[in-house]
């Protein structure tokens, strides 16, 4: 499938077929793809937690507001987290990066302060979301990006000490009757002239 076809056909799945699971090979591919996501100065300030365990999925579903059924019925839930603060980033990530990268961080980013650094780190994780959503569609997997979750409660369930949850993505296969699929509900986007400028 061309990338244009992927963009036209992928959509936010609202109803999953709970009896269809993603096979292990495909999950391994997705893990490798998301690991390869690009990030500014190759900072990689993330952790991706792939949840297949039904008991954990069930616990997470309790803290997923309107996304509860998606979390329960999807094959897997992937939780995207960012390193919890600037100091932890410097200790556990920056140490692995080349000297010139650390030098750039220390010269340009560190002086902006902790809040600004966290905004920058968080942006990198959102970039990996875009990469991941396209990848899932290219493999014929349906997905739901979800900010509508209680991130603090997710942290309590997942206990990834140095990381905090930003959002999650349910992945699996759609229920045939999912009303949100583009064949039933055409995709809504602003017109090209509203969002693209050519000069
Ligand atoms: C960061 C992010 C968070 C989102 N959170 C939710 C969510 O919690 N629940 C949900 O059903 N859809 C969620 N969406 C889906 C968007 O509403 C959807 O992408 C948008 O309406 C465009 O529709 P499409 O993905 O079907 O093309 C989210 C999307 C993004 C990118």
Which of 10, 13, 145, 183 gets mutated to test ligand 1 (max ligand atoms within 8 A of its CB)?
145
> 131-167: string of b/e by CB count within 10 Å (b at 16+)?
ebbbbbbeeebbbbbbeebebeebbebbebeebbbbb
- Looking at the domain assignment, is residue 186 inside a domain? no
CB atoms within 10 A of CB 61: 20
pLDDT band at 49 (very low <50, low <70, confident <90, very high): very high
Q: Whose CA is nearest to atom 16 of ligand 1?
A: 12
What tens digit of pLDDT does each residue of 162-194 get?
999 999 999 999 999 999 999 999 999 999 999
- Looking at the domain assignment, is residue 181 inside a domain? no
**Per the structure, how many domains does the chain have?**
1
DSSP three-state, residue 56: helix
What is the pLDDT of the chain when averaged over all its residues? 97
> How confident is the model at residue 95, as a pLDDT?
86
1, pLDDT greater than 90: no
Q: Is the pTM of this model over 0.85?
A: yes
What tens digit of pLDDT does each residue of 85-112 get?
999 999 999 988 999 999 999 999 999 9
Which CATH number belongs to the domain containing residue 40 in this structure? 3.40.109.10
Q: Whose CA is nearest to atom 26 of ligand 1?
A: 11
- Looking at the domain assignment, is residue 197 inside a domain? no
- The residue range of the domain holding 45 is 3-176
- Looking at the domain assignment, is residue 10 inside a domain? yes
- Looking at the domain assignment, is residue 9 inside a domain? yes
- Looking at the domain assignment, is residue 147 inside a domain? yes
Residues in the chain: 199
pLDDT band at 55 (very low <50, low <70, confident <90, very high): very high
Q: Whose CA is nearest to atom 7 of ligand 1?
A: 146
Pairing relation of β-strands 163-172 and 76-83?
Answer: antiparallel
- Looking at the domain assignment, is residue 101 inside a domain? yes
What tens digit of pLDDT does each residue of 112-158 get?
999 999 999 999 999 999 999 999 999 999 999 999 999 999 999 99
- Looking at the domain assignment, is residue 117 inside a domain? yes
Cβ contacts of 55 within 8 Å, gap of 6 or more: none
């Amino acid at each position: 499938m061309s990338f244009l076809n992927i963009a036209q056909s992928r959509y936010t799945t609202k109803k999953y077929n709970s009896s269809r699971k993603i096979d292990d090979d495909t999950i391994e591919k997705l893990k490798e793809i998301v690991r390869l996501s690009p990030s500014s100065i190759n900072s990689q300030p993330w952790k991706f937690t792939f949840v297949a365990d039904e008991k954990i999925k069930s616990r997470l579903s309790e803290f997923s507001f309107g996304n509860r059924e998606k979390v329960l019925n999807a094959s897997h839930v992937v939780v995207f987290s960012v390193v919890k603060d600037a100091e932890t980033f410097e200790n556990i990530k920056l140490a692995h990066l080349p000297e010139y990268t650390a030098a750039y961080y220390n010269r340009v980013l560190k002086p902006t302060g902790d809040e600004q650094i966290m905004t920058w780190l968080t942006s990198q994780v959102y970039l990996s979301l875009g990469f991941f959503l396209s990848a899932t569609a290219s493999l014929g997997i349906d997905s739901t990006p979800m900010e509508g979750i209680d991130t603090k409660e997710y942290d309590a369930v997942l206990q990834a000490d140095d990381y905090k949850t930003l959002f999650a993505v349910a992945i699996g296969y759609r229920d045939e009757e999912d009303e949100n699929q583009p064949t039933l509900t055409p995709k809504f986007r602003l017109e090209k002239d509203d969002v693209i400028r050519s000069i």
